[in-house]
Amino acid sequence: MKKSVNQLIFVVGVLVLWEGLALLKLWPPYVFPTPQGVAESLWAGFADHSIWIGIGVSMRRVALGYAISVILGVLLGMLLMSSRFLEDTLGGLVLSLQSLPSICWLPIAVLWFGLTETAIIFVTITGSLLAVTQATKAGFDNVPRILSMAGRNLGAKGPQLFWHVLLPASLPYLVDGLKQGWAFAWRSLITGEMLFVTLGLGQLLMMGRDLNDINQVVAVMILIAALGYIVDGILFRRLETSLRDRWGLATAASN
Amino acid sequence: MTNYVLDLISRSIAGGRVLPEHEEPSERVKPNKDAPADVSMLHAPPASRKESIALSGVFRSYANSRGSFTPALQNIDLEIEQGEFVCIVGPSGCGKSTLLHLLAGLDRPTTGEITVDGSPVRGPGTDRILLFQELGLFPWLTVRQNVEFGLKMAGVSRNERRDRARVFLRMVHLSHFEDHCIHQLSGGMKQRVALARSLALRPKILLMDEPFAALDAQTRDMLHDELERIWKETSPTIVFVTHNVREAVRLGDRVLLMSFRPGRIKSQFQVTLPRPRHVEDSDVAYLSKEILGQLREEIDRSFNAEYSREEKR
């Protein structure tokens, strides 16, 4: 309860400050957006369905790209764990490639796939796949040794040990990694959608720039951030909370 | 194929890539659908007092950061009878825990041989269950699921697992907590869950690594009584490591004193005091004093070793 009151006060405060700055007219209107302008832009976008279509198209793409990333990422992470050789060789490559911003993958995506749907999905996957891989690996690396020893001691071995001890023991870390992977997928998708007339939110953002419409740019940015936050809440927050409760990691302060 | 990869992963994580794992020929707990879930099944086969564990010339050293080897255990020769309650005391770093890990098959001796009932130990086996000091309870499982874990791994059916887990939960007085999460329990209760989890496999040998060190005195007293009762009821061989000499005398048939690095069995004390004993008993105190005198020498040696190492820096 207190949290939502705080959040409300914060949002109102930001809006008042923003409006105040806009009223001072320190910058020309094509540089500094106004709250009303952004609201109107959002309203117009919803009214002519362009935002609805953008949300639909972007969500479908991110769902596909993220799903592929999770499956391949977890498999790749497990593969890295399975051999010292792969960890030393492929593991280093994964780490170095992960430092590439997703925009670096745009040229290669266009060269390989042209201005197509596949190129966008490809960029989404490159953005999140390696994050999921890293998280999977970190999750297994972080399994407390005492738990795997206890499992072996009680007769679990090989695949049994994996399914009944290592996997559940690494779950809190895995979920953390999947959450991070989601954030990366969403960012990379928007980058990819700026490529061409893609109908997605990324394109709406670029359209705002092309029309010199700062209000639309900010409106779409707010929308992208809000969607990322909402999906994160739906997909992960509840899962995280229940895991924390179960594992006993929850603190009294969490509310 | 999948299983093969999972196996590799399990090994690389669980083994920490240090210990080679070996398939052990140890006998597993066989599913027994006919056995009724009553207390009678807790009793191990009649104990003819014979040798259960034998260590001969066991030596274990670890590579240290300077590239040489630190001996942890040196030349351990030891025989433990079936159903015997052996306590091991010694200063910190004397290799007590290492010894238990070797017996549990979670670690292997550098040289020497360990046999249980005549067959060499080559890996973990459910005939020897180690109760870790840190317990290693699984937080994602409820109390009862934790107790069922070993049985599940052995392929015991769901109903029998549940029934058997309940028998052992009753034994450690946790019947009302079977559906609780681990983190909801107190330290003493967690300790008893770990004990029930180990006992549920009806191990012939129970290895305990300072199990009660972190508990308050009252809880510890109570658990001593429970452990003694359970030992009488199920008659496993128990190897109990502690740094508390009184605890050792209170519980053990025999107390072994280990020397500081490299760990060796320095002396042995047969405890013939009648049971039940209590830590406050004067006889227990008297014998403890004698053992403590020798233990002090080892503790002094360990302090001196630490001190001289600091001097060198």
Confirm if B257 and B295 have CB atoms less than 8 A apart. yes
What sections of chain A are H helices per DSSP?
2-24, 35-47, 50-82, 84-98, 105-113, 117-141, 145-153, 159-161, 167-193, 201-210, 214-232, 238-247
Which are the contacts of A245, defined by CB distance < 8 A and separation ≥ 6?
B181
Whether the predicted pLDDT of A76 surpasses 60 = yes
Confirm if B204 and B47 have CB atoms less than 8 A apart. no
Give the ipTM of the model, two decimals please.
0.75
Chain B residues with CB inside 8 Å of A147's CB? Answer: 136, 138
Chain B residues with CB inside 8 Å of A151's CB? Answer: 14, 138, 149
Task: Give the largest Cα separation in chain A, rounded.
Answer: 73
Q: Is the pTM of this model over 0.90?
A: no
Nearest to B9 among A82, A144, A154 (CB): A82
Nearest to B140 among A149, A160, A168 (CB): A168
* Interval A148-174 mean pLDDT: 88
Interface of B to A at Cβ within 8 Å reads 2-3, 5-14, 16-17, 21, 28-29, 104, 106, 124-126, 129-130, 132, 134-140, 149-150, 152-154, 181-184, 197, 201
Chain B residues with CB inside 8 Å of A156's CB? Answer: 149, 153
- pLDDT value of position B159: 92
Cα distance from N-terminal residue to C-terminal residue, chain A? 9
What number of other Cβ atoms are within 10 A of residue A50's Cβ? 16
Which are the contacts of A139, defined by CB distance < 8 A and separation ≥ 6?
A77, A170, A171, A172, A173, A174, A176, A177
Chain B residues with CB inside 8 Å of A165's CB? Answer: 14, 138
Q: Give φ, ψ of A80 to 5 degrees.
A: -60, -35
Confirm if B39 and B139 have CB atoms less than 8 A apart. no
- pLDDT value of position A129: 92
- As a residue count, chain B comes to 313
Alpha-carbon distances of B241 from A32, A164, B211, rounded to whole Å: 72, 29, 8
Q: Is B14 close to A152, i.e. CB distance below 8 A?
A: yes
| Alpha-carbon span A247 to B15, nearest angstrom | 24
* Interval A70-89 mean pLDDT: 88
A182-199 pLDDT tens trace: 999 999 999 889 887 778
Interface of A to B at Cβ within 8 Å reads 78-79, 81-84, 140-141, 143-166, 168-169, 171, 245-248
Whether the predicted pLDDT of A250 surpasses 60 = no
Which are the contacts of A135, defined by CB distance < 8 A and separation ≥ 6?
A73, A77, A173, A174, A176, A177, A178, A180, A181
Q: Is B132 close to A146, i.e. CB distance below 8 A?
A: yes
Closest CA to A174 of A137, A149, A147, A128: A137
Does A115 or B46 have the greater pLDDT score? A115
With a cut of 70, which residues of chain B have pLDDT below it? 1-6, 8-51, 306, 309-313
B75-104 pLDDT tens trace: 878 888 888 899 998 887 778 888 888 888
Tokens of B135: 């317990």
Q: Is B129 close to A153, i.e. CB distance below 8 A?
A: yes
| Alpha-carbon span A186 to A224, nearest angstrom | 9
- pLDDT value of position A249: 62
- pLDDT value of position B197: 92
B120-177 pLDDT tens trace: 888 888 888 999 888 889 999 999 999 999 999 988 889 999 999 998 898 888 889 9
- pLDDT value of position A73: 92
| Alpha-carbon span B100 to A48, nearest angstrom | 73
- pLDDT value of position B9: 67
- pLDDT value of position B199: 86
- pLDDT value of position B27: 39
* Interval A50-77 mean pLDDT: 93
What number of other Cβ atoms are within 10 A of residue A233's Cβ? 10
Does A13 or B288 have the greater pLDDT score? A13
Which are the contacts of A227, defined by CB distance < 8 A and separation ≥ 6?
A55, A58, A59, A186, A201
Give Rg (Cα) of chain A. 22
